[in-house]
Amino acid sequence: MIDQIFGVWNYWIVFILMMIGLYIVISKKSLLKKIVGLALFQTSVFLLYITFGKIAGGTAPILTDNVNEIYSNPLPHVLILTAIVVGVATTALGLALTVRINKAYGSINENEISASDLVEYHKKYHEVKK
Amino acid sequence: MTFIIKNLPILIVITPLMFSLIVAVLSNNRLAWILSTFASFLTMIFSILLCFELSNNSNISYYLGNWPPPLGIEYVIDKVSIIPIIIVSVIGFIATLYAHNFFILEIDRNLVSKTYSLWLLTIAGLMGLITTADAFNLFVFLEISSLSAVALVALGSKMDRKALIAGYNYLILGAVGATFYVIGVGLLYGVTGTLNMSDLAQKIPALGLNKSVIVAFTFMMLGIMVKAAVFPLHIWLPNAYAYAPSPVSVLLAATATKVSIYILVRISYTIFGPSYEIYTFESLRYVLLYLAILAMFAGTIMAIFEKDVKKLLAHSSVAQIGYIVLGISLATSPGIASGFIHLINHALIKAGLFMSVVAMGYYTLKRIDVNSITGLGRQVPITFFAFVICALSLAGLPLTVGFISKLYLIKAAFMSEGIWLPFLILVSSALSLIYIWKLIEGLWYNKTNSKSEKIKELPEIYIPLLIISFLNIYFGIDADLIIDNSFIASDALISGIK
For chain B, what is the mean pLDDT?
87
Residues B393-406 have a mean pLDDT of 87
Q: For A115-119, B62-66, B69-73, B451-455, which range has the lowest pLDDT when averaged over its residues?
A: B451-455
pLDDT band at B278 (very low <50, low <70, confident <90, very high): low
Residues A103-120 have a mean pLDDT of 86
Domain edges within chain A: 2-129
CB A35 within 8 A of CB A91: yes
pLDDT band at B88 (very low <50, low <70, confident <90, very high): very high
- Give the architecture (CATH level 2) of A2-129: Orthogonal Bundle (1.10)
Q: Does A19 touch chain B (CB under 8 A)?
A: no
The Cα–Cα gap between A37 and A49 comes to: 19
Q: Distance of CA B414 to CAs A108, B122, B418, B419, Å?
A: 50, 38, 5, 6
Q: Does A42 touch chain B (CB under 8 A)?
A: yes
CB B127 within 8 A of CB B93: no
Q: Do A52 and B147 touch (CB under 8 A)?
A: no
Rounded to a whole number of angstroms, the CA Rg of chain A reads 23
Looking at this protein, which amino acid is placed at residue B179? T
Quickly count: other Cβ atoms within 10 Å of residue B218's Cβ: 16
Quickly count: other Cβ atoms within 10 Å of residue B456's Cβ: 7
Q: For B4-18, B348-362, B371-385, B430-444, which range has the lowest pLDDT when averaged over its residues?
A: B371-385
Chain A residues within 8 A of B167 when measuring between CB atoms: 97
Of the candidates A25, A28, A20, the one whose C-alpha atom is nearest the C-alpha of residue A111 is A28
CB B465 within 8 A of CB B359: yes
Q: For A86-100, B287-301, B305-319, B483-497, which range has the lowest pLDDT when averaged over its residues?
A: B483-497
Residue B451 pLDDT more than 60?
Answer: no
Beta bridge partners of B76: B61
Chain CA centroid to CA B447, Å: 36
Residue A129 pLDDT more than 60?
Answer: no
Residues B415-444 have a mean pLDDT of 87
Of the candidates A89, A79, A94, A76, the one whose C-alpha atom is nearest the C-alpha of residue A37 is A94
Q: Tens digits of per-residue pLDDT, B346-381? A: 999 999 999 998 888 888 877 777 777 777 777 888
Quickly count: other Cβ atoms within 10 Å of residue B430's Cβ: 12
Give the chain B residue nearest A125 (alpha carbons).
B371
The Cα–Cα gap between B274 and B289 comes to: 20
Question: B182 or B159: whose pLDDT is higher?
Answer: B182
Question: A2 or B487: whose pLDDT is higher?
Answer: B487
> Residue length, chain B?
498
Chain A residues within 8 A of B175 when measuring between CB atoms: 38, 42, 90, 94
Element housing B76 (H / E) = strand B74-78
pLDDT value of residue B279? 66
Burial of A117 (0-12, 13-18, 19+ CB in 10 A): middle
Q: Tens digits of per-residue pLDDT, B36-53? A: 999 999 999 999 998 888
Residues A41-69 have a mean pLDDT of 83
Residue B447 pLDDT more than 70?
Answer: no
Q: Name the DSSP class of B231.
A: G
Which 216-275 residues of chain B touch chain A by CB within 8 A? none
Residues B220-237 have a mean pLDDT of 90
pLDDT value of residue B39? 93
Looking at this protein, which amino acid is placed at residue B497? I
Q: Do B150 and A93 touch (CB under 8 A)?
A: yes
Q: Does A39 touch chain B (CB under 8 A)?
A: no
Residues B245-266 have a mean pLDDT of 91
Q: Do A42 and B167 touch (CB under 8 A)?
A: no
pLDDT band at B496 (very low <50, low <70, confident <90, very high): low
Residue A80 pLDDT more than 60?
Answer: yes
pLDDT value of residue A130? 53
Residue A20 CB contacts under 8 Å (≥ 6 apart), including other chains? A37, A40
- Crossing angle of helices B112-131 and B29-56, rounded to 10°: 10
pLDDT value of residue B130? 92
The Cα–Cα gap between B247 and B99 comes to: 5
CB B420 within 8 A of CB B297: no
How many percent of chain B have pLDDT more than 70?
96
Residues B386-400 have a mean pLDDT of 88
Q: Does A86 touch chain B (CB under 8 A)?
A: yes
CB B443 within 8 A of CB B436: no
> How many Cα atoms are found within 13 Å in the side-chain-facing hemisphere of B450?
6
How many percent of chain B have pLDDT more than 90?
35
Q: CA-based angle B122:B126:B130, to the nearest 5?
A: 170
